[in-house]
């Protein structure tokens, strides 16, 4: 198990009031790292970033010593869509989001691969590969990787099987611009049992066989309200869901994951008994687990 001080732990933070406010919120919650949306995640359009916004963002990161900044792309994007209009709109939107991430010098841009809806799994995976190849060619990224996120497998969403991510990587030429953001809640909901040694070993073996070494670049470290294999994406506080503290000990001890920055996406608020920030509570739990 690594020392707690060697882990890079943080959370997704609101950009209300400006991007730089997310950094201050991260600092106040004792984060080492931060994830944001660079725009309204439920809208297609976005105002261009101004130089003043970019400078305020960079200054805040330096002031508060927050590292490994990443963004999550819009939930509207669906690179697997069989609808040509939505497919093209998704490509255009992700090009803009990646360009914004480049302007902010983020380390990663997380995106859900997409849902094939009324086509097929194979067709959906092919569409994702086509989309990502075009997007890389157009963005020509210099700083930021596109991080494909594993999913819980709700509906026709692709990426719930690690083999789906492997198919995407094998189909895309410029994988130096790609990575994976691994979500613990999604993996558990998709059927990867982090709570047992055998289940964890099976998941690790699939990662080793399907993904290039070092492909996993970030972790969304979330507990799950629903059971293993439920295919339901409901995040919970660390140790309060179904993954169990032992499950998180396995993740924190795993060199595939513990070298990566880890970001909470758990419910916000304050503890009704102590008044403590819930992100801070979750971070303290993780640091305690890593110290054991």
User: Does 92 appear as a known binding residue?
Assistant: no
User: Does 183 appear as a known binding residue?
Assistant: yes
Is 64 in contact with 29 (CB distance < 8 Å)? no
User: Does 121 appear as a known binding residue?
Assistant: no
- Taking the C-alpha atoms of residue 292 and residue 287, their distance in angstroms, rounded to an integer, is 9
Query: Checking DSSP bridges between strand 108-111 and strand 67-72, what pairing results, if any?
Result: parallel
Neighbours of 66 (CB within 10 A): 21
**3-state DSSP call for residue 53?**
helix
User: Does 160 appear as a known binding residue?
Assistant: no
Q: Per the structure block, which two tokens stand in for 82?
A: 């069989």
User: Does 72 appear as a known binding residue?
Assistant: yes
**3-state DSSP call for residue 229?**
coil
Query: Checking DSSP bridges between strand 235-236 and strand 223-224, what pairing results, if any?
Result: antiparallel
**3-state DSSP call for residue 1?**
coil
- Taking the C-alpha atoms of residue 44 and residue 48, their distance in angstroms, rounded to an integer, is 13
- Taking the C-alpha atoms of residue 3 and residue 5, their distance in angstroms, rounded to an integer, is 5
User: Does 27 appear as a known binding residue?
Assistant: no
- Taking the C-alpha atoms of residue 79 and residue 86, their distance in angstroms, rounded to an integer, is 8
- Taking the C-alpha atoms of residue 17 and residue 25, their distance in angstroms, rounded to an integer, is 11
Strand-pair partners of 218:
181
User: Does 186 appear as a known binding residue?
Assistant: yes
Q: Which residues make up each annotated binding site for Zn(2+)?
A: 72, 112, 149, 183, 186, 220, 233, 235, 265
Q: Which residues make up each annotated binding site?
A: 72, 112, 149, 183, 186, 220, 233, 235, 265
């Amino acid at each position: 198990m690594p020392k707690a001080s060697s882990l890079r732990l943080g959370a997704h933070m609101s950009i209300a009031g400006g991007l730089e406010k997310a950094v201050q919120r991260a600092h106040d919650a004792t984060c080492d790292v931060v994830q944001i949306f660079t725009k309204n995640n439920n809208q297609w359009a976005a105002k261009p970033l101004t130089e003043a916004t970019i400078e305020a963002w960079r200054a805040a990161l330096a002031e508060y010593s927050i590292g490994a900044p990443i963004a999550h792309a819009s939930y509207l994007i669906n690179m697997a869509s069989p609808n040509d209009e939505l497919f093209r709109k998704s490509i255009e939107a992700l090009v803009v989001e990646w360009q914004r991430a480049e302007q902010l010098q983020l380390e990663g841009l997380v995106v859900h691969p997409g849902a094939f809806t009324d086509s097929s799994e194979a067709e959906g995976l092919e569409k994702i590969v086509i989309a990502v190849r075009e997007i890389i060619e157009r963005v020509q990224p210099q700083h930021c990787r596109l991080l494909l996120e594993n999913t819980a497998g709700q509906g026709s969403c692709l990426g719930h099987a690690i083999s789906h991510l492997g198919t995407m990587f094998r189909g895309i030429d410029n994988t130096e611009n790609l990575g994976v953001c691994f979500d613990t809640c999604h993996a558990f909901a998709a059927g990867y049992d982090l709570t047992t040694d055998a289940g964890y070993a099976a998941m690790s073996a699939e990662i080793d066989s399907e993904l290039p070494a070092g492909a996993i670049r970030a972790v969304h470290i979330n507990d799950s309200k629903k059971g293993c294999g439920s295919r339901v994406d409901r995040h919970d506080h660390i140790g309060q869901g179904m993954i169990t503290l032992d499950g998180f000990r396995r993740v924190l001890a795993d060199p595939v994951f513990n070298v990566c920055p880890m970001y909470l996406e758990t419910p916000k608020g304050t503890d009704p008994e102590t008044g403590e920030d819930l992100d801070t509570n979750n971070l303290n739990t993780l640091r305690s687990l890593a110290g054991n």
